[in-house]
Amino acid sequence: MKKTFYIAAAISGAAAVNAHAQGSVTLYGLIDASIQYTNNQGGGSTVAMSSGTTRGSRIGFLGTEDLGGGNHAIFRLENGFDVTDGSLGQGGLMFGRQAYVGLQNDRWGTLTFGRQYESMVDYVAHLTAADWSVYMEHPGDMDLTNRGVRVDNSVKFTKTYGAFTGSALYSFGGQAGSFGANSMWSVGGSYDDGPLYVGFGMTYARQPGARNTGTFWKASNSAIGEYVTVAHSFLTVGGGAAYKFGSLKLGGDITSTTYKDGFEQQNVNFMNYEINGVYYFTPALSAGLGVTYTDGKVDANDGDPRYIQYNATATYSLSKRTDLYAFATFQRAMGDAQVAQVTQFISPSSTNKQASVGLGLRHTF
């Protein structure tokens, strides 16, 4: 009888706490697997299975607790994994995609702390073909729009007012005796109202090569690897817009990326110009085409590395949660750029051309 009383009291107490806190935790995830053919990886063609071709495979927990007075405690823990072998993503981190905790006020905005995305991902990435597939990034993901960048040790403030959302982020470098060394900051925003979306972002990092693995791609892509490693600082600025005309959605973006002292103690700059469009034949069937032109300038030797990349995708929804997709991408390196590489997730070509095509299945829950 006494044991029953204690159990009942514990259940009643827990129910009372839950009723007062009005908290919730949402489990969500995405699984993406494909089979792809790439014509030239170091001189030979490959057929392989890949995870996260269009969206990184993940499982996450999103939590909120009502603190009263319009205040909420929030958190997100998001794990990335490779569906082909079950291994952890992001260098083996348990919650390598996102991990943050924060406070939200219905009037004043949201303040979060942890491992988070910066503004180029939050507001500009949606406008690029990398939103269709990681194989369609701007060369080397030089402007951070391929969602591969998460910023550790960061504080971010986000505020939404009507159709406008803006945010500012600062990441502490953590170097003793210097507040600014290895630090990083980012600002950006978007206007999202019906068929029109406009986004912009700016991100700056000191000593980008000294930051943690996974923040910047350092050596895998011939377009930018050598510059990231030695640069004194990094600045990328970009923006664009998209508009939906009935069944057709057209978009475009422009980004500028500078590696200060990136080569022989002089600057290296890249401009990306992209246009893309998606046509919805039915609510279940859509197809997209896009092209990106990249123009580089190396001040130390007047170098002119250039790239052009063509992207195509098609998606058929089997249900609200499950999609079949196909993609094709082709990159050509020009000028002083000698080697093509459509994405840092595969090996570079041995020539100035590389193409990849694939078929895949994506399921969300």
Q: pLDDT (tens digit, 9 = 90+) per residue, 113-136?
A: 999 999 999 999 999 999 999 999
The backbone torsions φ and ψ at residue 340, rounded to the nearest 5 degrees and listed phi first, read -100, 150
Beta carbons of 277 and 310 less than 8 angstroms apart: no
Mean pLDDT over 83-108 rounds to: 94
Domain ranges, ordered by start, for the chain: 107-364
Around Cβ 125, how many Cβ atoms within 10 Å?
23
Buried b (16+ CB within 10 A) or exposed e, 275-289: ebebebeeeeebebe
Q: DSSP characters for 220-261? A: S-TTTHHHHHH-SEEEEEEEEEEEEETTEEEEEEEEEEEEEE
Work out the pLDDT band at 12, boundaries 50, 70, 90. very low
How is residue 134 written in tokens?
A: 């990681």
* Sequence letter at residue 115: R
For residue 260, list its beta bridge partners: 233
Work out the pLDDT band at 18, boundaries 50, 70, 90. very low
Beta carbons of 266 and 299 less than 8 angstroms apart: yes
How is residue 330 written in tokens?
A: 């082709």
Around Cβ 76, how many Cβ atoms within 10 Å?
22
In the chain, beta strands by DSSP E: 24-41, 44-51, 58-68, 71-80, 98-105, 109-116, 151-161, 164-171, 184-193, 196-206, 233-245, 248-263, 266-280, 285-298, 305-317, 322-335, 353-364
Q: Which residues contact 39 (CB under 8 A, 6 or more apart)?
A: 45, 354, 355, 356
* Sequence letter at residue 59: I
Gap between the Cα atoms of 151 and 30, Å rounded? 22
How is residue 150 written in tokens?
A: 């998460």
Query: The pTM is what?
Result: 0.88
**Residue 62: left (phi > 0), alpha (psi -120 to 50), or beta?**
beta
Gap between the Cα atoms of 302 and 284, Å rounded? 49
- What is the rounded average pLDDT for all residues in the chain? 89
Gap between the Cα atoms of 56 and 360, Å rounded? 13
Residue scoring higher pLDDT (234 or 222): 234
Beta carbons of 34 and 361 less than 8 angstroms apart: yes
The DSSP output letter for 124 is I
Angle at 209 between CA 207 and CA 212, to 5 degrees: 100
Least confident stretch, 104-113, 181-190, 240-249: 181-190
Gap between the Cα atoms of 271 and 109, Å rounded? 33
Q: pLDDT (tens digit, 9 = 90+) per residue, 269-321?
A: 999 999 999 999 999 999 999 999 999 999 999 999 999 999 999 999 999 99
Gap between the Cα atoms of 112 and 99, Å rounded? 10
The DSSP output letter for 348 is P
Around Cβ 33, how many Cβ atoms within 10 Å?
17
Beta carbons of 324 and 314 less than 8 angstroms apart: no
Question: Is the per-residue pLDDT at 43 higher than 70?
Answer: yes
Q: Tell me what percent of the residues of the chain surpass a pLDDT of 90.
A: 75
CATH class of residue range 107-364: mainly beta
